[in-house]
Structure 1
Amino acid sequence: MQVKQEKFGEVDSNTVSSFTITNDSGAELTCINYGCIITEMIVSDMQGNFENVVLGYDTLEEYLNDTTYLGAIIGRVGGRIKGAQFKLDGQSHTLAKNEGNNHLHGGIKGFNRVIWDAEVFEQENEAGVQFKYLSSDGEEGYPGNVAIKVTYTLNNENELVLTYDAVSDKKTPFVMTNHSYFNLSGNLKRDILNHTLKLKSDRFLELDQEFIPTGTMLDVRNTPFDFTGERTIKSGTVSNHSQNVLVGEGYDHPFLLSSNHDEEIILKDPESGRSLIVETDEVGVVVYSGNSIGDKGYIRDVPARKHLGICLETQGLPDAIHHPTFPSTIIDKEQKYSSVTKYKFGVVR
């Protein structure tokens, strides 16, 4: 196991570094300390071909101009907060508005737009990078100074483990996630419409016209949202279900997980034979089928287009601050926040 560090670019005279972690079987993770962005994940298909399975760019300038959060860490709160405001213990807090009247993925300068301190580590069977950032009191409107650690670990079992740790000096909402877009075809040879997904989830959240949860939890049975058995992503993009149509033909919905660290999320590409098993501490996962990836520009020489990648955002439920019936996403003063999500890459023989 080894980690190679290189200069990736500069932002305001600050160096941005890339880190490439290689395991003994040849799998590679590359990430940068701008936004803790995962730029590449290279794994084998069933023929032994090693190819990239995430969407990303080759230059820092492209990431600076990106509006789709490719591969980035999201915070302080993943998803949308209605009206870009909330009350906490009777006090009103106004957040940055960056999607109409609402607050999305931490605001104008969320965790995806900052340079993190980084430290590499190498061990016999695993290696990785630990990123650190202090989110100051009032940043994007949130209360409290929050000290955050994000650790990316690649091991010899072809598992990528993301560990999130944080502590705040004031009570604050806090929902971290990673916004990687997966495409198991390898090097974006195809879109993700024929990928299959299986979820241990029997409920998903209904969205309003602004893609914000209404508070209603819907049963997945007899709908295109039933992933309790394998279902193609395409089945939701061609569906006339009002929730599929609403988000641009596909999925952009939070699912409540009924199990944790129990192979609760399984993505497969039948043609390449690649599989991805995701296990997490989190209560939910936002399944986003890349409906709003624009058709302008390129992603590593491949024309950008909708459904080119799928996000599996393990996290607390969006806009939970406005829904008392949702699991709480508030961390108390000096309360230690910790969450782990594991991505296991393999092949189906």
Structure 2
Amino acid sequence: MDDKGASPECGAACPRHDTRKERTWRHLDTMQFATYLHCNVPRVRCEKHDVKSIRVPWAEKNSRFTLLFEAFAIRVLNAAHSVEEARKLLGLNWHQVDAIKARAVKRGLARRQATKIDCLGIDEKQFRSGHDSVSNLYDLTGGRVLDIVEGRTENDCKQLIEQALTPEQRAQVTAVALDMWQAYANAVSQALPKADIVHDRFHISQHLNDAVDSVRRAENKALNKIGDNRLKGSRYCWLANEENIDKKRAEQFDVLKTSDLKVARAWAIKEMFRGFWDYRYAGWAKRHFDRWYAWAIRSRLTPIKKKAKMIKNHLPNILTY
């Protein structure tokens, strides 16, 4: 063994100090048998950073898994339906999986370059039984998450944009897709003044689906009281795109959607709005919206009327789509 080694902190050649007790790293399985690497890692004495263990080429600092195993674990996590499923396949506990994910994210961020990003997306996700929220920033063109912060306030969103993008990148953004949450719109206007705000198809559809479902739930409750169970088990049909409904359900739905039910009217209003997205020019889209709004606002369906008014209030940023 050489009398010198590289400091893990600064890379300087330092004299060897001693050798640590044997350490173990989980490696890729061999013939379905768990495989481990064992090594007595030397320590060096650095003038600037005191006594430190040298870096081993097969693993990261403080990790008990080789880099090859961690790369495999990330592939399993990507392919699995859930973290729990991946954890069982890998034979790891939750803390080990979480640490592997954290190191993978750190490696990815270290490789990230400040490339030009034209279109961003900002969205909210709820966790801990819906009591807390995080705000996510996406590169829509590259299909990747850029950063996440806790909360959904205006300051949270500004922090998210500023910590994820350099000033040069922020100046190059042309459009930002987001929900009709005013705090996000305010933050984007301040942090990205040159970018168009776009309320995209996904979020509008989500709001209209919520309205249809509210009508269905109220009507189903009223019908059940008089022994009418026509709407039982039909929720999916009202919320899915009609072309995605399987043949077995389609026959039942053909009868329901042409009935005099309130939810059938709400569904028809929702479906009419889908034509809005087919127009290439804002003028024609605006004409379509005006016809749709006139029907929605006279529908006497409170959830539909509320969503129609909300959409109208945000129409300029929907037309940018």
TM interval, shorter chain, is: under 0.3
Q: Which has the higher helix share?
A: 2
Structure number with the bigger relative contact order (C-alpha 8 A, sep ≥ 6) is 1
Q: Which has the higher strand share?
A: 1
TM-score relative to the length of structure 1:
0.26
Larger radius of gyration: 2
